[in-house]
Structure formats: structure tokens, C-alpha cells
Amino acid sequence: MAKARAQATRHHGGERGPLPWWVWLLSGILIGLGLSAIVMMKGWAPKLRNEAPTPTPPAANEIKPAAEPEKPKYGFYEVLPEMDQVVPEALVKQANQQPAQPLDANQRYMLQAASFRNGADAESLKAKLALLGLRASVQTVAINGQDYFRVRVGPFADLRELDTAKTTLESNGLQAIALKENAP
């Protein structure tokens, strides 16, 4: 009986190996051709033009005088509020060599450290400036429908204080603009 078991073999009825690659390729091509034929018959495909492009009529012989190009309009002077005036760099450096002169009661000096389109960036810089011991504020300005956030340091009573703060900013990699403005 043990021999009968050893001699028994299993028959694999209809099992075959995987399909050859060329069968898959041929079936893919046939499916693609069938789908493209359906698309063409239904009219879903865009139609190709066999027409030659129509030539444009020649321009008239009249030569129009060239209009003068418009000069670019710079909005810089409208962008800065009218109460701000840029202080020349030479005046700031000269202030260290002369005794401090007090400003009028309605004027003050400010430094503009940066301007951002993102308010979070402006607040981040304001916090960094506070760690440096500088009093900063963020001013929101709308220019051509776009909001800008200016980071300003100050106000300063005289040019010496302004120069000290500007030196601190420059030593930390920030180029600031000195401004003289009328106090609100």
C-alpha cells in the first residue's frame, strides 16, 4: 500500500505558464486601435484643418507718425507718505562730529529697517529687533492695492541716537533708511 502512494502523481489539469509578452502587446495595440476608431466615428476628436491660412491684406501705404512713448510714472514719491523725508547719509555721519541739536517739537527721526509683503515676516523682524534692544513698530501701507508692512525703528530725538541704532542694524546685516517725519 505504501508503494501505491508513492506512485500516485498529481495531474495539473489545464494550468499553463503566464502569457507571452507578445500576446499582451498585441492585445494593447488592438484595444488602442478600437478606442481610436470609436472616437473618430463619434466625432469626439478635434478635426484637423486642411485649409491654407488666409493671407493678411498688405498694410496701407500710409505711414503713421510714431507716437512718443509714454514716460514711465514712478510712484515712489506717492508711495512714501508726504510727512516722511529721507535723511541724507552724510548728514547722519556728520551728526557724530557736532553737538546734538534738538529737533522741532513736531519732527522726529525714524529708521525703516525693512518692508515686507507678508505681515508675519514683519512681526518676526520686529521681535528680532526687540532682542537687540531696539524699539520697532510695524506700519501697514497699501500701494497699488497691495499691502506692505514696513518695519520702523524709533523715534529718535536726534541724529546721534539714529546713527547708533543704524550701526546696530548694519552690524546685524540690515540696511536701514533714515527718515525725518512730522510727528502726528
**Alpha carbon distance 179, 27 (integer Å):** 77
- Residues written for the chain: 184
* pLDDT tens profile 117-135: 888 888 988 888 888 888 8
* pLDDT tens profile 28-56: 999 999 999 998 888 887 766 666 666 77
Q: Beta-carbon neighbour count of residue 168 at 10 Å?
A: 17
Q: Which domain holds residue 92?
A: 81-182
Task: Please check whether residue 108 lies inside any domain of the structure.
Answer: yes
pTM: 0.45
Task: Please check whether residue 96 lies inside any domain of the structure.
Answer: yes
Task: Please check whether residue 171 lies inside any domain of the structure.
Answer: yes
**Alpha carbon distance 151, 139 (integer Å):** 6
Higher-scoring residue by pLDDT: 161, 105:
161
Task: Please check whether residue 164 lies inside any domain of the structure.
Answer: yes
Cell 523715534 appears where? 155
User: CATH no. for residue 117?
Assistant: 3.30.70.1070
Query: How many domains does the chain divide into?
Result: 1
**Alpha carbon distance 48, 67 (integer Å):** 42
Out of 16-25, 65-74, 135-144, pick the least confident.
65-74
